[in-house]
Structure 1
């Protein structure tokens, strides 16, 4: 049944890890731990394996999303008391696995990599930035210990302890490059840009310890999918949702989608579960966030100590 989604090691992690989501993380490592998983030749298959993993796990473990929601809050970036917290908008565990490998091999740094759930739903920057820094967007945060980076140029960074840096990448490139016309090569280019930006932040900072993470991940609808919708569900989604979340509403369309487990009510919003996608007129975005899925709601937590080799 595993469809090569996990071998004995990952299966044992699913069975015996204290938190089943830690076992899920090891399954994701099996998919995205390959150095070429983001490449144009393998990206579509990597994404399909990710969707299939989530689809199959939910059948085996129906409480998967409830456990993920219960784990949300108290993200580790909010509790650092020294060093620098680097929040890279929409950086996902996909890129995290590769960053772990490449930064470890290319720099004399100590690197560790794990994951943490997002702060809360919907998995959108505006909600998480409000929770963490009391502002509607990272560009609106005005604090001496905080710096927003909107492009590839790194400004003077805070020397406070702790300090926080929020970069608009990779989400700026994902949103700008992947609306409608989609090129798989662009994902590799975006990754290289993000890696270079992170290296610049580390080099320009006065700190030697960094916690690198994100506000949320994303779903990528590239290629085939095991998820499907009936005509009624497709019509309901396309009629009521322009993104992967929306405020609570009333009507038959919502009841249809809730009964089919396509959407889930979380506080004042409906969020789309899993990797369901639907078509609307005009360009259809392949990369989206705001909903409830493993790839959106499990954020990377990369810890870097630049004095590790000394």
Structure 2
């Protein structure tokens, strides 16, 4: 495999862990666990190595996507018995590795990071919110043990056990970063705001135990990519997809893409596998959801335990 994607410990994890995705998790930690991975100078390279890792793993281990799909469902947030469950829209393992380090270093908290597959495909908020809370969107959930946060101000939390909090961050900032001239520096600013919001939630909650996770991650098409397509496949993909998912229809283009293992059918939708993209050069839309790839379908599980005053 390409130099730099893993070291001996990550290679051993890929070979020996009972679940191959525990090995993938360690490979992603190698890429995103460094201090400046989200910074302006490092972000493009980290995204490229993430894409390269996934492409090579899929070549070396063909059942990769089938096994990931088989593990979806029964996300740990659905079996929370006490404490506070915080769902941060589109929080990915990229941010998770940094949160694990910084929250432990800056507070007197016990912090650990794991992962879980998303609840289901397509990896879009509307579908996952329907599974978890039987609502069309996080803002329409009507439960006494639930609070939705659309901005950076934390309202009074339910105080129930368990309680659930769903934040629109970091995704609303990621969505805003798609428009106009995309700046890699903004990703670090987005992270800092999401981190500050999480810290405020911890301080405002009556609980001392928190499970911080997300509905899905995201794919960032910033910079170069090792994923290539023939002109025919590129035309088919561009003609049928405006995002990483599309409704099923009787089309030869879909059949061609499915036979080439570029897309996969999930019930009434097709989703794009890996990091294939169809946008024209120079397109400002870089960050997308809804497809079937490692960074958007492996969600962070950040376990935080504070002191008896709820983190104050």
TM-score clears 0.5: yes
Gaps of 5+ in 2: none
Q: Which residue is 1:146 aligned to?
A: 146
Residue 295 of structure 1 corresponds to which residue in structure 2?
295
Q: Which residue matches 1:223?
A: 223
Gaps of 5+ in 1: none
CA distance in 2, matches of 1:37, 1:117: 23
Q: Partners in 2 of 1:228 and 1:282 — Cα distance?
A: 17
Count of aligned positions = 310
- Provide the C-alpha distance between the structure 2 equivalents of 1:279 and 1:18, rounded to a whole number of angstroms: 38
Give the C-alpha shift of residue 179 in structure 1. 2.7
Partner of 1:125: 125
Aligned-pair CA distance for 1:307: 2.3
Aligned counterparts of 1:16 and 1:137: Cα–Cα separation in 2: 40
Q: Which residue of 1 aligns with 2:46?
A: 46
Counterpart of 1:259? 259
Partner residue, 2:198: 198
Counterpart Cα distance in 2 of 1:46 and 1:212: 23
Q: Distance in 2 between matches of 1:33 and 1:281?
A: 30
Q: Answer whether contact 2:121 2:266 (CA < 8 A) is retained.
A: yes
After superposition, give the CA deviation of every residue in 1:159-208 in whole Å (9 maximum; x if it has no partner): 00000000000000000122352100000000000000000000011111
1:201-216 aligned within 5 A? 201-216=201-216
Displacement of 1:222: 0.4
Aligned to 2:81: 81
Post-superposition CA distance 1:13-72 (Å, at most 9, x none): 000001000000000000000010000000000000000000000111000000000000
Look up the SS of the partner of 1:62 in the other structure.
Answer: coil
- Scaled by the length of structure 2, the TM-score of the pair is 0.97
RMSD across aligned positions (CA): 1.5
Aligned runs of 1:50-199 on 2, under 5 Å? 50-199=50-199
Q: What secondary structure, in the 3-state scheme, does the structure 1 residue paired with 2:238 have? A: helix
Greater shift in the superposed pair: 1-10 or 13-22: 1-10
State the alpha-carbon separation in 2 of the partners of residues 284 and 251 from structure 1: 28
Contact 1:222 1:286 in 2 (8 A): yes
Per-residue CA deviations over 1:82-139 (Å, capped at 9, x if unaligned) read 0000000000000000000000000000111000000000000000000000000000
- Take 2:109 and 2:281, find their aligned partners in 1: how far apart are those partners? 48
| Aligned partners of 2:150 and 2:167 also within 8 Å | yes
The alpha-carbon deviation at position 259 of structure 1 amounts to: 1.4
Structure 2 CA distance, aligned partners of 1:250 and 1:173? Answer: 36
> Does the 8 Å CA contact 1:100/1:112 hold for their aligned counterparts?
yes
- Using the TM superposition, give the Cα deviation of residue 280 of structure 1 relative to its aligned residue in structure 2, in angstroms: 5.2
C-alpha separation in 1, matches of 2:204 and 2:161: 15
Distance 2:55 2:179 in 1: 25
- Which secondary structure state, in structure 1, belongs to the residue aligned with residue 30 of structure 2? helix
Q: Please report the TM-score for the alignment, with normalisation by the length of structure 1.
A: 0.97
